[in-house]
Structure 1
Amino acid sequence: MTSVHEAEPSAPVPERGPRDRDLPPTKPMSWAMLSRALAVPLTLALVCFLPAVIAAQPGSGVRDTAYWLQLVLTCYAGARLATMILSTRRRLLQGVFWMFVYIAMGVAPFAQAVIGQTPTPLVGPRSDLMTAVALVLVGCAAFDLGALLASRRPLRDRATARSANGPATAHRVRLRLLVLLALVASGYYVLKLGGPAIFFTSRQEISDSVAVSGVASGQSNVGSAFLKGFGTVPALLALLFYTRRLVTSRRARRSPSTVLVWCVLAALNVIVNNPVSNARYWFLTVLVSLLFTAFPSSAAMYRSVLALGVVGALVLFPYADRFRYDGAGYRPVDSSSVFEPLATKDYDQTVMFANTLAWVDTRGHTYGRQLAGSALFFVPRSVWSGKPEDTGVRVGQWMGMNMTNLSAPLWTELWVDFGAVGMTGAFALVGYLAARADRRYARAVSRAGPGPGSVTAVVVPLIAGYTFILLRGPLLQAMGKPAIALLCLLLVTSFRRRDGRNPY
């Protein structure tokens, strides 16, 4: 893999063809000197300064093997995140992965280890926590190995590999059908819940309205998941495609109809995808995917998202659930330290992994059953009576928790089904696929890419934003919206070769 200070070899710039005439001229990148100037202070801040500040906090934590392993994991993830931020290439999926690991599996659990308090109780022996941290480190190393293997294998160009097909682009007519689907589905969602005003109250009001609407039953949440999914996902995906068109095509910016459709989609997303009526992780998906789509070639935006994302997750995220409940149900965070909310809210991933180890010790591995339940999330429980519940819910019930809406990070999901060997291999595969997708994204947003209609230039930012949800888990809760997005992509994607003509 490329070092932080080492510039990637630049590929020869192809001549502009008719397909590229609407793309803005590219400017030579001069980030190498900036990377060198920022490398030392940024690396020291992530790897040394922040962990040292946390370690100096008062608390009753025990400084045993689990503590030192957590410190190693925090420093390792901080170094990898600094590498992603200062890389000469934009690695969206890998960058977001390391940002999540640094925050949710590194800094937050380290603060919990120092303070001596966790959001969820540890039910087993402390050795389970030590094993959990060690396994997270193993998964991270496997991810790095997979990414390294991907960097050694050249990309195949679909257009040259199969002469009958071209790169994946959005079909003009089918994209209009997606816009129509978004308007109809989101309009039905808004009307079913009682109008736009309810989307600016609280998530509790949204849940109550969904329950009253009759789409959900006591045994299954499939109906409510489809209502929320189709009400939010097509609108976001259509907005991303039209944003891609506007930022890369002068012709689109000069078209009043295109600008009008984008304005309508933007207004629609303000209603159905705002931070008041949606979970914080989903709004984070909306924000990250929109920024990466609107600024596809901006190294400054890429670095800002990763760097400021750390600050936002540590300082703002624990307080961002202001609209989860109405005024009577909201309980503000009362803390004397910026690190205290990390030990009392949200970031329970590491301790839940440790609790899952104890649960598996008593019940055994499920050998793919949990993942099968996630993959077949759309099957109602009335049809599949033995359909697995969320992994976090099952572990929470075993723990005797009253509130079982607990996280189940990807490490947990893979451990429950496949054990250490399967988890390690799966993370190597995830790292491989993430690195390949990042390289395809870099090609898609370049001058040699498919142009404004590139599907890859929209899909990779969307996956990058949703990575937080996939890594946090549980997967069963997280599968609905990606499935709807896949259906929308199947609707609009075309592989027809256009003989160099602009796809729009």
Structure 2
Amino acid sequence: MKHPTATIAVFTFGMISFISVLASGNENTTPSLLLGGAFLISLLTHSIIVYRKQLDPVSYLTTMYFVYAFTLPGIYQLRTDTFYWYNNSVRRDLLIDAAFITFTGTLALMAGISTTKLGRLFGTSFGSTGASTARPMPAKRYDRKRASIASFVISAICLAFIILQLAQKGPLVFFGTREMANLLLSGKDGDSGSAFVKTICSAMALTSFTITGIVRYWAGIKNSLTKVSIIASVTSLSIACFPTSLPRFWMIALAMTVGLVLIPNVLRRKKGIFFASGPIALFSLFPFLSSLRRGENLDASFEIKNPFDYLLHGDFDGYQSMINVVVLVQNEGFAFGGRIISTVLFFVPRSIWSGKYDRTGAEAADSAGYLYLNISMPLPGEIYADGGIIITAIVLFAIGRLIGTLDSIYSSPGMTLGSIPLSSISILIAGFVPILARGSLISVIGGPAVAISLVAAWSFLYRLKIRRT
């Protein structure tokens, strides 16, 4: 079932937001119009995603970020000439450059996504019943025993590692507030790796749950090993992804993963309601989650904030980071692939690789003269710093195509040999896509990398043949 009512609501809300923000001031007309073009292209793609039968979770969250967390706040900051970080240090002479890079990158990304959707806008995925196919699906094409053993091994390894870290780092790291967990982790003799270990635990728990959930509920494998795997993965999730200690983007990943694994049909039937309520959740739930886990104790007080004031918050610093990356390139030149290589090889310590790049957002902020460097860097800025505007357009178009492909994998009917690992990856990337889009990539790639590695390990174990002597 398509969702015309929800689509009209989403598009109307977006246009009202756009007109309101555009009319909020009269500064910086040219860059505002460029960002406005990026906003409208993103909103149109976002509306197409909402209209379609298929769930398209990766595309939805990607376009959601570009519409409401990147371009819309950028327009408001331009029209009011107010920026969150070191307002007086912002290079006003580079506003048009940053807006043009944002427009070009956004256009390429949305074109990549749209080309995977428009051809099937009135049809179904893979020329069949597509996303309307009910779960669970038969597992007759699988070796049930090997799939169960592989899932059991992965879930057992994840649970063992998480319990070991719980014993070593203490329960407050996992069950306290996020601020308390950060203080405890950073206080262990300056061990910066402790925070990454917590990230590894969260990624392992999400991946274990995703794989075992698909094996049990999608493929319908209900033997004893699978039941034990489910118990182990839920236990891992309860420890490593306890909500009070998670960053907000990890809470999105947790909610998306659990929902996409356990209730795909509910999400599909109620897609219009869930997707239309996205902006409301962003501007109300995000500030609440931020205050909930600050300090040593939970603060569950809820305060309705002015959305315009929130658009000037550090959560929406994407456009300001785009200005900074122009400064970075002017000062240091393009990295010519060095940043993406550093991201892929994020696990290599700088003591071994002295030329490894730091977070792009931090380097750009430092180049712009900021003292606080924990600043984001959206995808267009990441790629621009590596190779310029043409490379940005080409790479983001390819990423858009990949995003559409991941959606098709999730919505495709039937279980084939590659369905469990590929569906797992599509679900996990859907959860991680907001933080990947916001960046900086090298600081957030660890979780997705661990998740994909575990999925690859499951595939290896499934295909592993043990010789009997």
TM-score, normalisation: structure 2: 0.84
Aligned counterparts of 1:146 and 1:75: Cα–Cα separation in 2: 16
Farther-moved stretch of structure 1 (487-496 vs 101-110) = 487-496
Per the TM alignment, residue 366 of structure 1 is displaced from its structure 2 partner at its CA by 1.4
- 1:62-89: per-residue Cα shift (whole Å, max 9, x none)? 1511222333332332222111011122
Aligned counterparts of 1:357 and 1:425: Cα–Cα separation in 2: 19
Aligned counterparts of 2:303 and 2:314: Cα–Cα separation in 1: 11
Per the TM alignment, residue 467 of structure 1 is displaced from its structure 2 partner at its CA by 0.8
Gapped regions of structure 1 (runs ≥ 5): 1-30, 157-165, 498-504
**Aligned with 2:448 (options 457, 465, 482):** 482
Aligned to 2:291: 322
User: After the TM superposition, which residues 233-244 of structure 1 pair with which residues of structure 2 at under 5 Å, given as runs?
Assistant: 233-244=203-214
1:379 aligns to 2:348 (yes or no): yes
Farther-moved stretch of structure 1 (181-190 vs 290-299) = 290-299
1:87 aligns to 2:56 (yes or no): no
Aligned counterparts of 1:397 and 1:227: Cα–Cα separation in 2: 27
**Aligned with 2:236 (options 265, 268, 287):** 268
1:398 aligns to 2:367 (yes or no): yes
1:77 aligns to 2:35 (yes or no): no
Decide whether the 8 Å contact of 1:292 with 1:302 is kept in 2.
no
Decide whether the 8 Å contact of 1:168 with 1:495 is kept in 2.
no
Count of aligned pairs between the two proteins: 441
> For the structure 1 residues 63 and 418, does the alpha-carbon distance in structure 2 shift closer, same or farther, using more than 3 Å as the test?
closer
Decide whether the 8 Å contact of 1:105 with 1:349 is kept in 2.
yes
Aligned to 2:439: 473
**Aligned with 1:231 (options 180, 198, 201):** 201
User: After the TM superposition, which residues 34-433 of structure 1 pair with which residues of structure 2 at under 5 Å, given as runs?
Assistant: 35-46=3-14, 48-55=15-22, 57=24, 62=27, 64-121=29-86, 123-147=89-113, 150=116, 171-195=147-171, 197-213=172-188, 217=191, 221=192, 223-224=193-194, 226-248=196-218, 252=222, 258-259=226-227, 261-297=229-265, 298-322=267-291, 325-327=294-296, 337-433=306-402
Aligned counterparts of 1:292 and 1:45: Cα–Cα separation in 2: 26
Aligned counterparts of 1:109 and 1:149: Cα–Cα separation in 2: 26
Letter in 1 for 2:233: L
- 1:276-334: per-residue Cα shift (whole Å, max 9, x none)? 2121112211111221122334423544443322221122213322255424999x999
Per the TM alignment, residue 475 of structure 1 is displaced from its structure 2 partner at its CA by 1.0
- 1:227-247: per-residue Cα shift (whole Å, max 9, x none)? 223322222111122322443
Aligned counterparts of 1:155 and 1:36: Cα–Cα separation in 2: 22
Decide whether the 8 Å contact of 2:318 with 2:376 is kept in 1.
yes
Decide whether the 8 Å contact of 1:235 with 1:265 is kept in 2.
yes
Decide whether the 8 Å contact of 2:42 with 2:67 is kept in 1.
yes
> For the structure 1 residues 167 and 421, does the alpha-carbon distance in structure 2 shift closer, same or farther, using more than 3 Å as the test?
farther
Letter in 2 for 1:262: I
> For the structure 1 residues 285 and 301, does the alpha-carbon distance in structure 2 shift closer, same or farther, using more than 3 Å as the test?
farther
Give the alignment's Cα RMSD to 1 decimal.
Answer: 3.3
1:437 aligns to 2:406 (yes or no): yes
Per the TM alignment, residue 358 of structure 1 is displaced from its structure 2 partner at its CA by 1.9
Q: Provide the secondary structure at the position in 2 that maps to 1:339.
A: helix
Aligned counterparts of 1:66 and 1:168: Cα–Cα separation in 2: 57
Percent identity at matched positions?
19
Q: Provide the secondary structure at the position in 2 that maps to 1:269.
A: helix
Decide whether the 8 Å contact of 2:98 with 2:319 is kept in 1.
yes
1:462 aligns to 2:428 (yes or no): yes
Per the TM alignment, residue 423 of structure 1 is displaced from its structure 2 partner at its CA by 0.5
> For the structure 1 residues 309 and 350, does the alpha-carbon distance in structure 2 shift closer, same or farther, using more than 3 Å as the test?
same
Q: Provide the secondary structure at the position in 2 that maps to 1:171.
A: helix
Q: Which has the higher helix share?
A: 2
Decide whether the 8 Å contact of 1:62 with 1:113 is kept in 2.
yes
> For the structure 1 residues 124 and 41, does the alpha-carbon distance in structure 2 shift closer, same or farther, using more than 3 Å as the test?
closer
Aligned counterparts of 1:464 and 1:257: Cα–Cα separation in 2: 28
> For the structure 1 residues 382 and 73, does the alpha-carbon distance in structure 2 shift closer, same or farther, using more than 3 Å as the test?
same
Q: Provide the secondary structure at the position in 2 that maps to 1:66.
A: helix
Decide whether the 8 Å contact of 2:59 with 2:403 is kept in 1.
yes
Q: Provide the secondary structure at the position in 1 that maps to 2:277.
A: helix
Aligned counterparts of 2:196 and 2:9: Cα–Cα separation in 1: 46
TM-score, normalisation: structure 1: 0.78
Per the TM alignment, residue 353 of structure 1 is displaced from its structure 2 partner at its CA by 0.4
Aligned counterparts of 1:168 and 1:339: Cα–Cα separation in 2: 55
Letter in 1 for 2:247: A
Aligned counterparts of 1:403 and 1:286: Cα–Cα separation in 2: 29
Aligned to 2:457: 491
Letter in 1 for 2:85: T
Decide whether the 8 Å contact of 1:248 with 1:452 is kept in 2.
no
Gapped regions of structure 2 (runs ≥ 5): 128-140, 464-469
Q: Provide the secondary structure at the position in 2 that maps to 1:67.
A: helix
Aligned counterparts of 2:261 and 2:61: Cα–Cα separation in 1: 15
